[in-house]
Structure 1
Amino acid sequence: MPEFTARPAAPDSLPLDFATMADTAQHLIDAGGQMSAAGLDTGTLAMRGHLALLIPEAEDRLGRLAGAGAEEARQRLAAGPDVLGPLRYARCLARSVIALCTLLADEGKRDA
Structure 2
Amino acid sequence: MAEDDWKTSDLTFTTRTGTPIEPRNFNRAFESHCRRAGVPRIRVHDTRHTCASLLAALDVHPRVAMRILRHSQISMTMDVYTQVPSPETRKALDRLNKSLATDQNA
> Which one has a larger percent helix, Structure 1 or Structure 2?
1
Pair in the same fold by TM > 0.5: no
Give the TM bin, normalised by the shorter chain. Answer: under 0.3
Q: TM-score when scaled to structure 1?
A: 0.25
